Amino acid sequence: MAIVEKPGEPDYLRLFEGQSLDGWTVIKVERSKAFLTSGVQKMELNLALPDNR
C-alpha cells in the first residue's frame, strides 16, 4: 500500500493492489513504484519516498 496525493483532491489516497482508480486497476505497489493497467495499456508511477526512510 502507498499513500499518495491526487491533484485537485483535498485528501490523500491509499493506493493498494486490486484498487480501481479512474478506469485504471492497481496491479502492484512497491516501495518506490506503483503499476497500473487499463485494458492493454500499462502505466508505471514513481512514488516519492518519505524523508524518514
Q: What is the DSSP string of the chain?
A: -EEEE-TT-SSEEEE-TT-EETTEEEEEE-SSEEEEEETTEEEEEE-PPPTT-
| Position 51 in a domain | no
Structural domain span for residue 26 = 2-46
- pLDDT of residue 53 exceeding 60, the answer is no
> Where residue 52 falls among pLDDT bands split at 50, 70, 90?
low
pLDDT in tens, 3-45: 888 788 888 888 899 999 889 999 999 988 999 999 999 999 9
In a domain, 53, yes or no: no
Q: How many structural domains compose the chain?
A: 1
Is residue 16 situated within a structural domain? Answer: yes
Which pLDDT value is given to residue 42?
98
